[in-house]
Every structure is written in structure tokens, then in C-alpha cells.
């Protein structure tokens, strides 16, 4: 950060609540935090911004984290997302205006411009366009290590060999700024990309040794990672590995991954959907997500059925119990018609 940018960031932190009221007006203060749905100012409680307190002053004020996506940043990111800026220079100009600071000559503001603000659907689309097929990549090797056989065949998944990772306060000081990553396209019901989900990988195997190896960005609410074209019978699930494990057993059945329990509960029902299976995790969040979907499905006249794992989730079942036992367990939970059609 340049000194002028650092000073602006500090001043914004000292006035964090005022910044939030201006740019995240759909949120509210709760204790030492400002709570709102996400960086795009949607209603909810997923994103929380630290406000100054008499205990720590402005030491961490203005830092924010989205509990659903894992994204985090500072108040400059919030201003950029709120105003839809195409460059960091615009964001600094708006911050100076908000703080009633004199405008700097353009030559003194010299951070690299961004084509799109971080976290926007446009930035997500650019990352997707820069990614490569998953076949033969470290991403395919990762899925095979999780005993997922068909992950590389999904059109909604790609691989990026050097995906930027923004380190957090929970990461080591020497954390690498980029890692290989599996990139999943989040799309709406007409197939338009609204966001992406990233799973950073360690070239030595497994997930990258970072504090938050999974993060999503873009417009996620109501959307998801889709496998196959929507139909009258579908499966919704939470995490990618959970749903891909079920897809190994039911490869012809269309599916959508919500990427978190909260977003699973909010996935928009495709037109023509009549029977829905929900591959839920065995935890409180999974139970609550299913209850929310059940209420929505009842109003939409959609027949709803849970798919429950034997262990914590379906990938745990797959890696521990194997394909054959997982197949028998899933088959036993399907309606009779679907058993004959999909087995």
C-alpha cells in the first residue's frame, strides 16, 4: 500500500460505522460489529465488519469477513463493491470524498488499476475465462484422491494453475500469494455465470495449507454449481465434494451444489421441478437448510425427500465405505420409480 492509501484505510477504519451506514445501509450494528448479508449490501447476517472499540481503538476496525464465502477484506473493498468501480483509483477518489480529504493529483495515486472490482460477477467471469479444463490436472488428481471418479467430466468445473489467494490474519506471514485451484462456475437458472467457487490445492497433495482453502465470490444467492440440465427430478446439495460423491452414483440425475448450508436453502427452484432430493450433511446447519427448503417446496408443490449419509457427509461415506456401499445406501432412499430409472 502506498502511504496515501494506508492513511486513507486507517481513517476509514476510525470511521468504520459511518462507512458501513453509507455503503452497507441494509445492515445494522450488533455490539462491536456491523452485520449485513454480503459485500453487495444484501440483507442478512453473513458478513461482519469490525467497528472501533475502546479496547483496541482502530487496530482492526474496518476489517470484514463473510462467514459464508470465506472472503474478507477492508473498507476500501466495500466502497469498491458498493460503487461498482472499475479501478482502484476510483475507489480512492470516493474514499477521499467521503472523508472530506483534498483530492490528490492523479500522478500521486498509483496503484495498479483493476479491470473489475474484486468479488464481482465480472471478476468471477474473468477468472473462469482464464481457467483450463480439469482433465489431466492437479484438480482431477485431487478428486481421485477423494475417490470421486467423474469430477473432471463436469462442464461446471475447471482448473487454474496459479490462482491468487488473499492471505488473512490467520495465515502465516510467508503465505504464498497464489496456489493451484479448482474453479467451479456458479450459474443462474439460464446458465449465466454469476460467481465462482475456488478450492486451493497443495501441489504435494490435498488442499493448500492456508487458513481458508475454499472461498466463493460473486452473486451467489439463489444460484449454485450445476451438473446437468434441470429436469423434473433433481438433487440439491451443499458442498462440491458431497454432491460429486452422489453424482458418482447417480451420474444422469441433474444436481445443484449451493456451496454452503445457507445458500443451499436459498437455491431457486428450476421451472418444471417436481421431485427434489436434498443431499444433506449430518449436522445442525444441514438440518436447518432442509427445513427451509421443505417450507419452500411445500408452497411450490414440489415433492421433497432427504438423502442422508451414514457418516458426516457423502464424501466421508465414499472415502470410508466405498462406491458399492454408498450406492446401496442411496438407492434405498430413492422413490421406487427413480430406483428403476437411475440404477
- Domain spans of the chain? 3-108, 119-213, 221-343
Contacts for 301 with CB less than 8 Å, ≥ 6 apart: none
DSSP-derived pairing of the beta strands 233-237 and 275-279: parallel
Sole residue written with cell 481503538? 57
> What pLDDT, in 10s, does the model give residues 166-212?
888 788 888 888 899 999 999 998 889 999 999 999 999 899 999 98
Indicate the average pLDDT of the chain: 86
> Quick one: pLDDT band at residue 113, thresholds 50, 70, 90?
very low
CATH architecture classification, 221-343: 3-Layer(aba) Sandwich (3.40)
- Which one of 59-63, 114-118, 164-168 scores highest in mean pLDDT? 164-168
Q: What is the mean pLDDT of residues 80-98?
A: 83
3-class SS at 243? helix
Question: Measured between alpha carbons, how far is 206 from 114 in angstroms, rounded to an integer?
Answer: 31
Contacts for 181 with CB less than 8 Å, ≥ 6 apart: 139, 159, 160, 163, 198, 199, 200, 201, 208
Q: What pLDDT sits at residue 111?
A: 47
Q: CATH number for 3-108: choose from 3.40.50.10310, 3.60.21.10, 3.90.180.10, 3.90.580.10.
A: 3.90.580.10
Q: What pLDDT sits at residue 58?
A: 47
Q: What is the mean pLDDT of residues 152-178?
A: 88
Sole residue written with cell 448479508? 37
3-class SS at 237? strand
- pTM given for the model: 0.67
> What pLDDT, in 10s, does the model give residues 254-306?
999 998 888 888 899 999 999 999 999 888 888 888 999 999 999 999 999 99
Q: What pLDDT sits at residue 200?
A: 95
Q: What is the mean pLDDT of residues 58-71?
A: 75
**3-108 and 221-343 in the same fold:** no
Sole residue written with cell 477521499? 96
Contacts for 83 with CB less than 8 Å, ≥ 6 apart: 23, 90, 91, 94
DSSP string, 18-76: HHHHHH-TT-EEETTEEEES-TT--SSSSEEEE--BTTTBTSSTT-EEETTT--EE-HH
Sheet of 225-227: strand order equals 225-227, 255-257, 233-237, 275-279, 303-307
Phi-psi region of 272 (alpha: psi -120 to 50; beta: other; left: phi over 0): left
Q: What is the mean pLDDT of residues 298-321?
A: 94
pLDDT at residue 145 is higher than 90: yes
Question: Measured between alpha carbons, how far is 59 from 97 in angstroms, rounded to an integer?
Answer: 23
Amino acid at each position: 500500500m502506498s502511504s496515501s492509501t494506508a492513511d486513507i484505510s486507517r481513517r476509514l477504519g476510525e470511521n468504520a460505522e459511518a462507512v458501513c451506514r453509507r455503503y452497507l445501509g441494509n445492515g445494522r450494528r450488533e455490539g462491536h460489529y456491523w452485520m449485513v448479508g454480503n459485500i453487495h449490501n444484501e440483507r442478512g447476517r453473513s458478513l461482519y465488519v469490525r467497528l472501533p472499540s475502546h479496547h483496541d481503538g482502530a487496530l482492526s476496525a474496518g476489517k470484514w469477513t463473510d462467514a459464508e464465502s470465506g472472503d474478507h477484506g477492508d473498507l476500501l473493498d466495500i466502497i469498491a463493491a458498493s460503487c461498482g468501480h472499475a479501478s482502484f483509483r476510483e475507489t480512492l477518489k470516493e474514499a477521499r470524498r467521503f472523508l472530506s480529504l483534498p483530492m490528490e493529483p492523479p500522478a500521486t495515486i498509483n496503484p495498479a488499476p483493476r479491470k473489475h472490482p474484486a468479488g464481482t460477477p465480472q471478476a468471477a467471469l474473468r477468472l473462469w475465462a482464464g481457467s483450463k479444463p480439469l482433465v489431466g490436472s492437479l484438480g482431477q488428481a485431487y478428486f481421485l484422491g477423494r475417490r470421486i471418479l467423474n469430477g473432471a467430466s463436469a462442464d461446471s468445473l475447471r482448473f487454474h494453475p496459479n490462482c491468487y489467494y488473499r492471505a488473512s490474519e490467520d495465515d502465516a506471514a510467508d503465505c504464498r500469494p497464489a496456489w493451484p485451484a479448482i474453479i467451479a462456475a456458479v450459474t443462474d437458472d439460464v446458465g449465466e455465470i454469476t460467481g465462482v467457487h475456488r478450492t486451493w490445492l497443495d501441489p504435494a497433495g490435498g488442499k493448500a495449507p492456508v487458513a481458508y482453502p475454499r472461498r466463493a465470490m460473486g452473486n451467489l444467492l439463489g444460484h449454485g454449481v450445476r451438473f446437468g440440465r434441470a429436469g423434473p427430478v433433481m438433487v440439491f446439495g451443499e458442498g462440491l465434494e458431497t454432491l460429486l460423491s452422489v453424482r458418482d452414483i447417480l451420474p444422469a440425475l441433474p444436481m445443484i451444489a449451493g456451496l454452503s448450508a445457507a445458500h443451499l436453502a436459498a437455491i431457486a427452484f428450476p421451472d418444471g421441478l417436481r421431485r427434489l432430493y436434498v443431499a444433506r450433511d449430518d449436522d445442525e446447519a444441514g438440518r436447518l437448510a432442509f427445513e427451509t427448503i421443505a417450507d419452500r417446496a411445500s408452497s411450490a408443490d414440489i415433492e421433497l425427500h432427504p438423502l442422508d449419509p451414514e457418516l458426516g457427509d457423502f464424501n466421508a461415506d465414499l472415502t470410508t465405505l466405498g462406491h458399492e456401499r454408498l450406492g446401496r445406501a442411496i438407492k434405498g432412499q430413492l422413490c421406487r420409480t427413480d430406483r428403476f430409472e437411475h440404477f
